[in-house]
Amino acid sequence: MPSLNDIKNLLQNNRITEFVKLNKLSSRDIIDFTNRYTNWAGKLFQHLDVKQGARVFKFLRKKKQEIIIKSLPDEKAAELLNALQPDDRTAFLGLLPGNAVKELLKILSPETRAETLKLLGYPENSVGRLMTPDYLAIKSTDTVQQVLDIIRQRGQAAETLNFIFV
């Protein structure tokens, strides 16, 4: 496992072929690196797998998130923002000034933009902004087999399966 200093050296020397190692880093290592080397965080996120970047991004402080998004090319910023869970994306955008939000909304996919605008439409500090639209709901008349089928079909898209709403 490379040390934080090793990662910084890879970034400084543009040894991109060795970045494959970065995708084996734990989320904790990425967060530690980002906190320690803020100026290099954007470059690190350019080379991370987008899913891993999204998993880590939500745990960073707002200022670090802003630095990363601003330092990424639009295409990479769009990939990262589109990969975030809807409630995490809304929480991030909800803290930014209006003009910054408008610019970032432009680079989102149409589906993601519509979903984000819907969540941002809820009043600030309301549950509507904090909730995820990615949940499973079933009917009280569904059989256990039907519920299991629903979970198999749509469970991957749900942010959490701890609760199933009836």
CATH number of the domain at 98, please.
Answer: 1.25.60.10
CA atoms within 13 A on the CB side of 47: 21
Same domain, 124 and 151: no
Predicted local distance difference test score (pLDDT) of residue 17: 61
**Does pLDDT of 98 surpass 80?**
yes
Averaged pLDDT, 29-50: 88
Same domain, 69 and 149: no
Same domain, 122 and 155: no
Same domain, 163 and 100: no
- How far are the Cα atoms of 9, 41, 78, 120, 148 from residue 113, in angstroms, in the given order? 37, 25, 11, 10, 31
pLDDT band at 123 (very low <50, low <70, confident <90, very high): confident
Averaged pLDDT, 62-79: 94
**Does pLDDT of 6 surpass 80?**
no
When divided into structural domains, the chain yields a total of 2
Torsion angle of the four alpha carbons 152, 153, 156, 161, in this order, in degrees rounded to the nearest 10:
-60
* Structural domain of 161: 134-166
Same domain, 38 and 118: yes
pTM to 2 decimal places: 0.75
User: Bigger pLDDT: 26 or 14?
Assistant: 26
Averaged pLDDT, 92-105: 93
pLDDT band at 57 (very low <50, low <70, confident <90, very high): very high
Same domain, 76 and 89: yes
Q: Tell me the pLDDT of the chain averaged across its residues.
A: 84
Eight-state DSSP code of residue 137: B
Same domain, 88 and 161: no
Same domain, 83 and 10: yes
Same domain, 103 and 143: no
Predicted local distance difference test score (pLDDT) of residue 50: 92
Averaged pLDDT, 143-159: 76
Same domain, 12 and 76: yes
pLDDT band at 3 (very low <50, low <70, confident <90, very high): confident
140 burial (CB, 10 Å; 0-12 / 13-18 / 19+) is: exposed
Percent of the chain with pLDDT over 90: 39
